[in-house]
Every structure is written in structure tokens, then in C-alpha cells.
Amino acid sequence: MPKFAANLSMLFTELPFLDRFAAAARANFKAVEFQFPYAFDAADIKQRLDANGLALVLHNLPAGDWDAGERGIACHPDRVGEFRAGVATAIHYATALGVNQLNCLAGKAPAGVSDTLLRRTLVNNLKFAAAELKGAGLRLLIEPINHFDVPGFYLNYTAQALTILDEVDADNALVQYDIYHAQRMEGELASTLQKQLARIGHIQLADNPGRHEPGTGEINYPFLFAHLDRIGYNGWIGCEYKPATTTNASLSWREPLDA
């Protein structure tokens, strides 16, 4: 059966961040993920993980000024130094927190920069990050994001991500496949998951429309969960959705799965 990780950037948000770990454990999650740990001391997060018997399965590299609307800087030619410093910071946190993979957000394409330069910058930054993460025993993920929710985001499609990873040519660099974003941009969920399973390092979910919990929209999640079992996916699935009401009310979809 699928293994689900609570995304603490989206779930239990009525609580302070460090209190969300206990809430996830009370809701019978065995693992968590979140966007960024950098506003907190790594030791404080590790204490909450250990106290609640939780594994951390994912967080992101630093992604610029999130509150100002930035969604990554990996494709920004004028911020390569900042990106590389962020890789070092992320490795420090990942090592302290026991996570084995980090997600890199490509970012929104800066105005006036050619696609050739954007792609070259992204590929070179990913080559650097993959090498640094491999030295620390970590995997690097890249995530296509739909351009309806994040206009201007540089990386939108699974096929695009795969061609970029072909150029990066690193065996520890994989796709983070977010079912919600993929549904909005391309569909073909079951076929893509099966065909590209070996190149998918992590999966996230939300339903569409609304980015709420499974069962609120058009995606046939019971079918997809059974499909993932059939094709042999044994990783975690991050619950990165916005609860339609409260987090606890949004978890009823897990009951038939004994998750």
C-alpha cells in the first residue's frame, strides 16, 4: 500500500511550524516533508522529528525570497553564487535532519533572458548541485510546476524535466512528480508514472481543481494508488494539498487505505 508523508507547509497550518510534527504523528503519519527548514535551527527540527517518531523525506533547496513571490533561482544567470551557497546550506540541514533527497525549484524565468541562457544556467546549476549532493549521499530532485498557479515558472512538463536531466547526466538526479501539477499541464498520469518510474524519485499529490485533498476533484486517486502498487513504486507520497476545510477533516480519504 502507498506510504504517505504529511506536508507540513500545507497541513496543520493552524499550528506553529514546530508543533505540526506532533499533530502529524497524532494523525498516524510516519513521515513528513516541508518546503524549507531554514528559518529554524536544525537541532530543534530534529528534536521534533525524533520525539514523534517521524522520518523526514523531503525539503527544498533555498529558493530565493519566497514571501516576495520568488519560486526558486536555479535558472537565474545573475544569482549563481547565491544558488551555490544555498546548496551548501541545504546539505548542512539535510545531514542534520536525516533526509536523503532535496528538491530544486527552477524558478520563474527572469524577463529579458533568452531561453538558451536560462536552460544553460539551470543545467549548470543542477550539475553543480548533483555533484555536491552526491558527495553527501543525497539525491537531487527537480519538479515541474504548472504555469496556471505559478505564471512564468521555467519548468512545466515531465518531458522537459527529463531532457534537462539528460543534459545534467547525474545518476542521483531525478524527477519529483507532483500529480496535481502534472494533471493541470499534461494529464496521462498513469502512463507517465509507469513509463518514467525509474526516473521518478518522489511523488506528491493534490486533487484538481482547487488543490484540495483526494476525492474533492477529478483525479481517480483509488485507481492511481493501486496503479502505483502494481508498477512497484515503493517511495513516499507527499500530501501537498490545501485542506478544503480543516486538516483533520481532510484526512478521511486515507481511512480505506489503512494509511
Query: What does the buried/exposed string (b/e) look like for 228-245 if buried means 16 or more CB atoms within 10 Å of the residue's CB?
Result: beeeebebbbbbbbebee
φ and ψ of 83, to 5 deg: -60, -45
Give the active site residue among 70, 132, 240, 255. 240
User: In whole angstroms, how far apart are CA 129 and each of 23, 82, 88, 158, 231?
Assistant: 33, 12, 9, 20, 30
- 240 in active site: yes
Distance of CA 112 to the CA centre of its chain: 28
Residue whose C-alpha is closest to residue 83's, from 102, 101, 67: 102
Q: Active site residue: 14, 82, 132, 143, which one?
A: 143
C-alpha span between 125 and 234 (Å, rounded):
29
Helix (H, G, I), strand (E, B) or coil at 155: coil
Q: Which of 171, 104, 223, 162 is nearest to 205 (CA)?
A: 223
Whose cell is 543545467? That residue is 123
Answer yes or no: 70 catalytic: no
- What are the phi and psi torsion angles at 178 (to 5°)? -95, 115
Q: Which residues pair with 7 in a beta bridge?
A: 33
Active-site positions read 143, 240
